[in-house]
Amino acid sequence: MSAAELQRPRRWQAAGRLLSLLLAAPMALVLLVHPAAMLDEQGRYSHNLLMLVMWGVAAGFVHGVGFVPRAVAWRVLFHPLAAWGLMALGYALLLR
pLDDT score of 40: 82
44-58 per-position pLDDT tens digit: 888 999 999 999 999
Considering the entire predicted model, what is its pTM?
A: 0.85
DSSP the chain: --HHHHHSPPHHHHHHHHHHHHHHHHHHHHHHH-GGGG--TTS---HHHHHHHHHHHHHHHHHHTT---SSHHHHHHT-HHHHHHHHHHHHHHHH-
What are the domain boundaries of the chain? 3-95
pLDDT digits (tens, 9 = 90+) for 29-85: 999 999 888 888 888 888 999 999 999 999 999 999 999 999 999 999 999 999 999
